[in-house]
Amino acid sequence: MYGLAECALDLAFPPPQRGVVTDRVDRAQLAAEAIAAPAAPDDPQPLRVVGCGQPLPGYQIRIADEAGRELPERAIGRVEFKGPSATRGYFRNPEATQALFDGDWLDTGDLGYIAAGELYLTGRSKDLMIRGGQNLYPYELEEAVGNVPGVRKGCVAVFAVPDPGKGSERVIVLAETREADAAKRAQLRQDINALAVDLIGGPADEVVLAPPHTVLKTSSGKIRRAASRELFERGAIGHKAAPVWEQFAGLALASARGRLAQLARTARELAYACYAWTMFGLLGLVAVVAALVVPTAAWRRAVLHGIVRLMARLSGLPVTVTGRGELPEAGTVVVVANHASYVDGLLLFALLPKRYVVAAKEGFARSFWTRRLLGAAGAHFVERFDPQRGVEDTRALAALAAGGQALAFFPEGTFTRSPGLAPFRMGAFVIAAQTAASVVPVAFHGTRSVLRADSWIVRRRPVSVTFGAPLSPDGTDWAAAVRLREAARAEILRHCGEPDLA
C-alpha cells in the first residue's frame, strides 16, 4: 500500500485478499522515454514494479509532469494527491508549504505511474533505501563511516542498487581512502560493517574502498548519491574522473537533450489538442446548423450521425473495435457501456446504427445548443437525482423498447477524472427484463487518457472498444434485472482495464 504523513497515513490500498501485484516494465523505454511500457514476454531483464492499490474513498491521485500537467496512463511523473486528510502545510514554514502544493494538489515528492487504476512507484526524491522490508537512511551511516580512521571524512556515499536475485535492494558503502595496505583495507571493511550492523541492523552488501575524489559532490559539497550510484553500476569506481568543465558540459548537453525532447512531446500534444478542438468546433458548427435547418427528424439524425462519424475519423485516434458483429441487426436491444470520458459518447454514437436512442443526462437539456444537438440526434434526456423523474423516464424508455426501439445507456450515470468502474444504475436492466430485450455490454478502454474530466487537453492515445455477446434476461422481475446487470458489468470490467469501484 502507499501512505505518507502528509496524508495522515493511508492514501492508496489494494483490494482485500488480492495479494501482491507486480507490473513487468520495459527497462530501456522507462529510462529513455519515462514510459512504463509493458515488457515483452521474452524480455530477459524486465523491471518489476509493485502495485500499491487504488486511492481510498474520497481521495484522488494523479501523475503530473514538471509543468503541473496531468500525464496519461503509464507515463512517469510526480505523484500528487488531494483528499480530506491532506495536510495544510508545514508548521511555521511557509516556504516549504508553498513548495509542497501544485495548485490544489499536494506533491508527494515520489515518482510513479498509474496503470489500470493502480498506483505504481518507480522512484523516490529522497534517499530512502529499502532492504529486507526495512526503511534505511544513509546520513547517519555516512557520518559514522567518515569518522573511521583511514577514511576521508565527508567523502562517503551510502546508496542502494537493485538486487534482482532477492527482489530487494543491496546497500553499498562507497568510502574514499588513501590506504594501500591490503591488511589495513580489510580491517577498514570490518570496521565499516560493524558500524552498519549497529546503525542499520546488518552489514552492508558491499563496501567499496575508492581513491580520493571518487565520491561525487555538488558545488556546495553535498554528496551526489544518485550520481555515485551510477558510477558504481558502470564499474567506473577508481577511474580518473573527467575534468570539471567536461563533466559540466556533459551534464548540460544531457539536460538540453532531455528538455528538448520534453518540449517536443509537449508541443506535439498541444498541436494535436488545438487541431482536435478546431476540428470539433467547425464540425460542431455544421451540426448546429443541420439541427436547426434540416426539415425532418429522420434526416437530421442521419446528417448528425454522418458528422459524428466524420469527427471520429478525422480525430486520428487509433481506435480498435472488437466484437461489433455481436450487435443484433434487428429486434429490441439495450446497449450498456462504461463511461470514462466525453469521448465515449462520441464513439458510441459513431459506432452504433442510426436506430439507437442514447439516454443522456438531464443536465444537457438545460443548454439550448446541447438540447437541440442531442435532441436532433435522437437522444432521450433522463434525470439522475430525482427519484420520481427517474421512474417516469424509465417508463418512457421502456415504452420505446416495447415498441422495438433500440436503446443505449451509460449506466454509471456520469464519470470522474479518477479511473475505476462505478456501480451501475438499474434503469437499463429493468427495461431489458420487462421487454425481453437483449443486453449488449460495451467496454471502452483508454478514453480517459484521451480527454480526462476537468481537463481540456485532448491527447492522441490508443482506444479499444469491445462489444460483448448479447445477454438475455431470465425473467421479468427485479431479481432478473439484477442478474442481468451483474453479468453485463462483469463483462465490461473484464475489458475496460480499470479497477472495480463497487
pLDDT digits (tens, 9 = 90+) for 260-293: 888 898 899 999 999 999 999 999 899 989 888 8
pTM score over 0.85: no
Which tens digits make up the pLDDT trace of 118-166? Answer: 999 987 665 556 566 554 557 678 889 999 999 999 999 999 888 777 7
List, in order, residues 6 or more apart from 275 with CB less than 8 Å away. Answer: none
Which tens digits make up the pLDDT trace of 46-66? Answer: 888 899 999 999 999 999 988
What domains, with CATH codes, occur in the chain? 2-124 (2.30.38.10), 129-241 (3.30.300.30), 271-496 (3.40.1130.10)
- Helix, strand, or coil here: 83? coil
Which tens digits make up the pLDDT trace of 27-47? Answer: 778 767 889 999 999 998 788
Picking from 469, 338, 483, 304, the residue whose alpha carbon sits closest to that of residue 409 is 338
Predicted confidence at residue 126, as pLDDT, reads: 58
Instruction: Tell me the one-letter amino acid at 176.
Output: E
17: left (phi over 0), alpha (psi -120 to 50) or beta: left
For residue 105, give the H/E element and its range: strand 105-115
Residue with cell string 556515499: 157
